[in-house]
Amino acid sequence: MSAVPAIPAGMPEPQALRPRQLALLAAAIFVVSAGYGGLLPVLPAWLAQQMPQANAVEVARHVGFLSGAYAAGVLVGAPLWGMVSDRVGRPRILVSGMVGYVVSLLLLLVPTLSSLSAIYVLRAAAGLCVAAVVPVVSALVAEHTPQALRARRFAWLTAASLIGFLFGPALNALADGLAGWLRSGGNQAPLSASLVVVLSAGLGAVIMLGLAWTLPVRQLPKSKIVPGPTRQRGIAALLWLSGAVMFVLSGFELGIVLQGQQHANLTTQQIALMFAECSLVMLIINAMLFFTSLLDKVPARVVIAFGLLIGMAGLAIMALHRSDSWMYLGVSLTSAGTGLVLPVITFLAAGATRQKLGATMGGLAAAAGFGQTLGSAAGGWLFGAVAQQSFGWLTLPLVLTLFMLLARPGWWGQQPLREEADA
């Protein structure tokens, strides 16, 4: 794997991020991940309350389509916000995204906006606002981090995302406890979902204020791109890989949520435990990948291929076996495989020129959003149609990606861009 490009001669060194700033950037990733992970498990019961005449298959499809609407917002917003942040500055876009995220959550609690169509619009708006958070945070860290620290800091960001998703079920459990305390007896699912929204919005508001207070606002000098023969192919390969893996991951996660409707012995606590297991395995893999400097010793394409194989094995196990022990093994392997691949994509993309760093990160987030949109919609439809076998169908994008990697290995180990100082 090529090394991350050094700061060119004559280009001013970017202002280094202070520990407090880096912590707040990681916290922004944590908050949006926790909000998504906390709301997803309560969506089936919440929608069942909103649509009392709907059957389990219809609810499953709407859960998938709502997740797809959120991802569609990311798909539309990520390249837009990335390009705008290259021009007007990343801190402004990041804070604006956090404001929109908090507002879009709180509007879910407005009674006049509780219809199914309004929920779709608000989840899409939340994704549009998150699109101004995740890629812009990555661009900020890449822009203001010395080359020697870049891998370690991206490890922190990935860890923040995984811990946030892991915290989502805990947020859900806290909301359940508060709902039981506020309302004893009866159906507590709508109140619990509302409390998840309130808690997520409150965390987002705190981080939003911290970012607005501490982030640097100085624009860095622009650089120009040095064309290279592998640049466009390297970008296209990363975009495909990001979309394909997120397609599989979103369908896989949705399948875990929807299993409870077809397996009477699978409790909500077991589903939450599978989500926690998923995040913990990915967190461990991420720590191993970066803190052992594995990417400095092993070509990126080898790491990617190994991750794809592990992910396919995990999905195959989940498709073929229904016992708890096999399901937990399948979750672990699938999480380990995707956990190997996703951080490599971001780390390779961090070599983009400053002038195009926001657009590059936004493009990756858009590809991930596109994959997540299709994966969520396909996952809901597949699980309603073939139930457990849907995990087996999800291996197809990974098989195709592995074939492309073996056929064109040169596309998967290059930094997509190079930069030099303006003349």
Q: What is the pLDDT of residue 421?
A: 39
The answer to whether 316 touches 339, Cβ cutoff 8 Å, is no
Q: What is the pLDDT of residue 218?
A: 52
Q: What is the pLDDT of residue 352?
A: 60
Residues contacting 385, CB < 8 A, separation 6+: none
Note every long-range contact of 180-186, with CB atoms under 8 Å and residues 24 or more positions apart, other chains counting. Answer: none
Give Cα 359 distance to the centre of its chain: 17
Give CA–CA dist 22/157, Å, rounded.
Answer: 9
The answer to whether 252 touches 396, Cβ cutoff 8 Å, is no
CA dihedral 125, 126, 132, 137 (to 10 degrees): -170
Question: How many other C-beta atoms can be found within 10 angstroms of the C-beta atom of residue 80?
Answer: 16
Give CA–CA dist 29/137, Å, rounded.
Answer: 8
Q: List, for the chain, all residue ranges whose pLDDT scores fall below the cut of 50.
A: 1-12, 223-230, 414-423
Give CA–CA dist 136/89, Å, rounded.
Answer: 10
Residues contacting 55, CB < 8 A, separation 6+: none
Q: What is the pLDDT of residue 188?
A: 66
The answer to whether 248 touches 311, Cβ cutoff 8 Å, is yes
Report the amino acid identity of residue 149.
Answer: L
Q: What is the pLDDT of residue 95?
A: 93
Smallest Cα–Cα separation from 395: which of 235, 255, 236? 255
Q: Which CATH number is associated with domain 19-217+225-421? A: 1.20.1250.20
Give CA–CA dist 107/120, Å, rounded.
Answer: 12
Q: What is the pLDDT of residue 93?
A: 92
Give CA–CA dist 311/334, Å, rounded.
Answer: 4
Report the amino acid identity of residue 182.
Answer: L
215's tokens: 């982030």
Q: What is the pLDDT of residue 195?
A: 84
Give CA–CA dist 150/159, Å, rounded.
Answer: 14
Structural element, H or E, at residue 170: helix 150-182
pLDDT tens sequence across 68-80: 788 788 888 888 8
Give CA–CA dist 202/127, Å, rounded.
Answer: 18
The answer to whether 245 touches 341, Cβ cutoff 8 Å, is yes
Could you state, in order of their start, the residue ranges of all structural domains in the chain?
19-217+225-421
SS3 for 421? strand
CA distances from 270 to 73, 207, 376, 389 (A): 30, 31, 21, 20
R_g of the chain, CA atoms, integer Å: 21
Angle CA 375–277–73, to nearest 5: 30
Residues contacting 65, CB < 8 A, separation 6+: 120, 376, 377, 380
Q: What is the pLDDT of residue 104?
A: 92
pLDDT tens sequence across 352-391: 666 677 777 888 888 887 887 788 777 777 776 766 777 8
Q: What is the pLDDT of residue 103?
A: 94
